[in-house]
């Protein structure tokens, strides 16, 4: 049986000038896990609207389990408006008060968590207190050996140092980029990836470096890809 890899948090549409694209870092993680042969699943919440139904159908068509995705009767499906400057650099307007801000804890989610081989989560979904609490509770019943992967994904002001430190204490693997590293390290009184790894007893820190590749820190010299 393929290991079950779960992304919990935001499921949303990125709205570009020329169209839209389904996204959200945890959902993207589950999708790529499915492409690699795992049983990817998304835990999120969409609106009872056309965008929500399309999101569920898109996940299913790509082999991702959408069963744990909840449908909200009132709040809309999440969207992000993406604007591009003359050089093609994007800016993002992440709209508030959407369905994934209201992800509810249920006994069914406890069962999903208990069967997970890996769980990916980030800071963006913590902007709403209800989803923040659900993410925390979801990480608790994860079985021994389940990898809890914290994809920092800092966006706008939807995070606090306290939440970042709390999530670091709940994860086994940390993924962040070179711009986020000094911010996260500074929140913790550390100076680099290896300092964060030791401070929180992490199995791995994955540091992305844009076009220069990435570094994997697991103790000793980093592996550069």
User: Would you say residue 39 lies in a domain?
Assistant: yes
Report the run of H or E that residue 4 belongs to, with start and end.
strand 4-8
Each residue's pLDDT tens digit, 169-211: 999 999 999 999 999 999 999 989 999 999 999 999 999 998 8
User: Would you say residue 162 lies in a domain?
Assistant: yes
The one-character DSSP state at 77 is P
pLDDT of residue 142: 85
User: Would you say residue 141 lies in a domain?
Assistant: yes
Strand partners, 207: 176, 215
Number of domains in the chain: 1
User: Would you say residue 122 lies in a domain?
Assistant: yes
% of the chain surpassing 90 pLDDT:
82
User: Would you say residue 79 lies in a domain?
Assistant: no
C-alpha–C-alpha distance, residues 78 and 92, integer Å: 13
User: Would you say residue 31 lies in a domain?
Assistant: yes
User: Would you say residue 152 lies in a domain?
Assistant: yes
**Domain CATH for 138:** 3.40.1190.20
For 29, the 3-state DSSP assignment is helix
User: Would you say residue 108 lies in a domain?
Assistant: yes
Each residue's pLDDT tens digit, 85-102: 888 888 889 999 999 999
Residue span of the structural domain in which 38 resides: 4-10+24-73+101-171
For 116, the 3-state DSSP assignment is coil
% of the chain surpassing 70 pLDDT:
100
């Amino acid at each position: 049986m393929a290991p079950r890899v779960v992304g919990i948090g935001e499921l949303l549409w990125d709205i570009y000038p020329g169209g839209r694209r389904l996204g959200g870092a945890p959902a993207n993680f589950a999708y790529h896990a499915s492409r690699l042969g795992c049983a990817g699943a998304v835990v999120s919440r969409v609106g009872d609207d056309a965008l929500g139904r399309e999101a569920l159908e898109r996940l299913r068509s790509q082999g991702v389990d959408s069963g744990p995705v909840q449908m909200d009767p009132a709040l809309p499906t999440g969207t992000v408006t993406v604007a591009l400057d003359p050089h093609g650099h994007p800016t993002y307007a992440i709209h508030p008060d959407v369905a994934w801000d209201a992800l509810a804890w249920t006994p069914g989610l406890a069962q999903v968590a208990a069967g997970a081989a890996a769980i990916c989560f980030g800071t963006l979904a913590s902007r709403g207190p209800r989803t923040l609490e659900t993410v925390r509770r979801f990480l608790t019943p994860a079985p021994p050996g389940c990898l809890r992967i914290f994809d920092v994904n800092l966006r706008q002001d939807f995070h606090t140092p306290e939440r970042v430190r709390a999530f670091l204490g709940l994860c086994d693997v940390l993924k962040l980029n070179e711009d986020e590293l000094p911010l996260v390290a500074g929140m913790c009184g550390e100076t680099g990836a290896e300092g964060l790894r030791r401070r929180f007893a992490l199995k791995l820190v994955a540091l992305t470096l844009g076009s220069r590749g990435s570094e994997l820190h697991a103790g000793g010299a980093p592996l550069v890809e």
